[in-house]
Structure 1
Amino acid sequence: MILATTKVEDVSHFLDVFSTKGADKRAEHGSKGSTVFRDPNEADRVWVLFDWDEAGWAAFVSDPDVPPILKEAGHVGKPQAAQPAGTYRA
């Protein structure tokens, strides 16, 4: 699992691109799915939980076809993966 966050210009437009062109490109790199969350404190920030391994994420973010898709989706800056801080039993 990968948890990533990014700021976007317009969440609805982001979701349109994320769920189509973005999904196709992520699938090419092994993503098995994702869940998007809106940040409760920042209207222009989304969090995405990906069913994806680190190698697939790394291949995706280095793919030269990805920056134009991110631009079309309205990203403000680059998506950032969150670093795990621990795993617990409950």
Structure 2
Amino acid sequence: MCTCSEARIVILSTDQWWPRPTGGNQMLLATTKVADVDRFIHIFSTKGADKRRLHGSNGATVFRDPSESDRVWAIFDWDAEGWKNFVSDPEVPAILQEAGHVGKPQAAMLLGHYEA
């Protein structure tokens, strides 16, 4: 299971965040492997959502990887400050453990933003 340091994911600097074209909050793409996708979705959509909301998240969209059945991807609508507060919350590691995270969650690095 994840240790507290593994649960940090990656805090991106502001120049690595993907700004929404309409302004508003910023987006973060993250991936992790999970022991059971259904268990992950249940915790992610309940306890995880409550905790993310507390730290200013405006939602997330979750995808299952087409090549690795135990890998999920999430796009978070979140600003950097809220994300940093979430990953430093002492209750988060237990939620990640309950959700069945396997290994260390990783944030994707933005390479660019292009129109159309």
TM-score (norm 2): 0.75
Which has the higher Rg, Structure 1 or Structure 2? 2
Give the one of 59, 82, 91 matched to 1:33: 59
AA in 1 matched with 2:40: F
Moved over 4 A (4+): none
1:53-83 deviations in whole A, cap 9, x for unaligned? 1221111111111000000000012321111
**Cα distance in 1 between the residues matched to 2:56 and 2:28:** 12
Q: Which runs of 5+ in 1 are unaligned?
A: none
SS at 1:40 equivalent? coil
Question: Greater helix percent: which structure?
Answer: 1
Aligned length: 90
Tell me by how many angstroms 1:4 deviates: 0.6
SS at 2:75 equivalent? strand
SS at 2:33 equivalent? strand
Give the root-mean-square deviation of aligned CA atoms.
0.8
Q: Which runs of 5+ in 2 are unaligned?
A: 1-26
TM-score (norm 1): 0.96
Aligned residues with identical type, % of pairs: 70
Q: Which position in structure 1 is the counterpart of 2:38?
A: 12
